[in-house]
Structure 1
Amino acid sequence: MAKRGYHHGNLRQALVEAALDLIGEKGPQGFTLSEAAKAAGVTPAAVYRHFAGREDLIAECAVQGYAIFADLMDYAFNDGKPSALAAFEAVGRAYLAFARRHPAHYMAMFESGISQNQTPELAAGAARANAVLERAANALSQHIPPDKRPPAAMFSAHIWAMSHGVVELFARGAPGARAPFPPEDLLESGIGIYLRGLGLLPPDR
């Protein structure tokens, strides 16, 4: 891991970037605050001017991850898709793309054991990302009468869980194994089966 170093008063972000490097190399539980300080080129005592401890540092990594994550999903949802289903599927693919492109952020967000309520900023970031998926779910169910419509929060949470499972088992290479099909295809077919079961899509002919 290359030493980033601390320059021009940007210690907070230097520590975040050092922590992301360490998370990518060792996992979110595999490094100490002293190691993050050393990678950033400062003493451990300097870290406490910005973070109360290692969990707060990882939480900030997660906050920045959620900002990227929500932006990607929001773009996928709003990028001129021809149908609500196409937009919903695009959001799922954006989830996989984020996990591939930003694995250290992903681990800080979902594999660190840190509560989403660790900081107000983390809670707000997680809520924003979840809201994008709920909007996509709500748009997909508009053709169903309100009294028969499944709660958007419920089936968006199920799709989130399915996406997370595909990422963990097949998209990042650890701890899972290679899939017999591309992860995108696995997720798309799983979404289709699930949505048909809810009556949100017509059955295959």
Structure 2
Amino acid sequence: MPSNTDRPSSSAAPKPRKTYRHGDLRAALIEAGLALAREGGPQAVVLREATRRAGVAPNAAYRHFANHQALFEAVRAATLGALARAMEIELHTAEALPDPTERARAMLAAIGRGYLGFAQAETGWFRTAFAFGAFDVEVPPDPARAADKGLNPFELLSYALDTLVQSGVLPAERRPGAEFLAWSSVHGLALLIIDGPLRHAPQDMRMALSLRLLRMVENGL
């Protein structure tokens, strides 16, 4: 992954746009917010800087976002959508396996690999995706938070766990709440890798720990 020093400086002059079609400015502000989040995480998503990068006056943002929080929530939704796409990329190969049991097990592991890989490759977006916001595990469908399947990251995990039940790998009575147990385990390792004592660990060590954790999650469930 490119380091922050490999990306354009936030002090680079924006490319102003003279006109915007309906909706273009909103998309441009979200795009600018995503660039800020990628560089510096949730704290870097500042409305004034987003408007500067979009090449408009700060007041122009209020045509589409009531305040900074509204812009931030739109950016956060987009980072969740990016995470969902990363998880689906891993999931596609697993779903193609012919054996139902093998496919179900591979799907759960794929969800975890995609999640951990995204945390390391897009750390700023990962931190933004899980920055403080309204309780949003059960929310109305939002295409911005989803990828091709129309599922957000939490729903993709639930989908994989439901497949484990359907294949007979996971007893139905152990299904309720299983997503929170699996999620907390994988999310914990992600934080240890990007912010904790494993942040300087060699890549092969991170990979070995990730694979072992994913097996542990399946066995534990």
Cα distance in 1, alignment partners of residues 170 and 60 from structure 2: 58
Asked whether 1:64 is paired with 2:87, we answer: no
**1:3-61 Cα shifts (integer Å, max 9, x gaps):** 44343523222212222232233331245321221222211100111111111111111
Cα distance in 1, alignment partners of residues 50 and 168 from structure 2: 51
* Residue equivalent to 2:54: 40
Cα distance in 2, alignment partners of residues 155 and 25 from structure 1: 34
The counterpart of 1:105, out of the listed 125, 138, 153, is 125
Q: Against the structure 1 CA distance between its residues 175 and 61, is the aligned structure 2 distance closer, same or farther, given a 3 Å change threshold?
A: farther
The counterpart of 2:153, out of the listed 105, 118, 129, is 129
* Residue equivalent to 1:93: 113
Offset at residue 67 of structure 1 (A)? 2.1
Question: Which runs of structure 1 show a deviation greater than 6 angstroms over 4 or more consecutive aligned residues?
Answer: none
Q: Against the structure 1 CA distance between its residues 163 and 66, is the aligned structure 2 distance closer, same or farther, given a 3 Å change threshold?
A: same
Contact 1:6/1:40 (8 A) holds in 2: yes
Tell me which amino acid in the other structure corresponds to 2:58.
P
Q: Against the structure 1 CA distance between its residues 140 and 28, is the aligned structure 2 distance closer, same or farther, given a 3 Å change threshold?
A: same
Tell me which amino acid in the other structure corresponds to 1:105.
W
**1:69-119 Cα shifts (integer Å, max 9, x gaps):** 2233234223224612122111111112222333333222112x12255x9
Contact 2:14/2:54 (8 A) holds in 1: yes
Paired residues for 1:169-180 under 5 Å: 169-170=192-193, 172=194, 174=195, 176=197, 177-179=199-201
Instruction: Using structure 2 for the length normalisation, give the TM-score.
Output: 0.72
* Residue equivalent to 1:163: 186
Tell me which amino acid in the other structure corresponds to 1:134.
S
Asked whether 1:5 is paired with 2:19, we answer: no
The counterpart of 1:186, out of the listed 206, 209, 212, is 209
Matched-pair identity in %: 29
Instruction: Using structure 1 for the length normalisation, give the TM-score.
Output: 0.77
Q: Against the structure 1 CA distance between its residues 190 and 124, is the aligned structure 2 distance closer, same or farther, given a 3 Å change threshold?
A: same
Tell me which amino acid in the other structure corresponds to 1:23.
A
Cα distance in 2, alignment partners of residues 140 and 107 from structure 1: 29
Comparing 187-196 with 46-55, greater Cα deviation is found at 187-196
Number of matched residues? 192
* Residue equivalent to 2:220: 197
Cα distance in 1, alignment partners of residues 44 and 15 from structure 2: 21
**1:126-166 Cα shifts (integer Å, max 9, x gaps):** 7632221112112223325856x311x52222222222222
Cα distance in 2, alignment partners of residues 133 and 156 from structure 1: 7
Asked whether 1:24 is paired with 2:49, we answer: no
- Give RMSD over aligned pairs: 2.9
* Residue equivalent to 1:50: 64
Contact 1:66/1:129 (8 A) holds in 2: yes
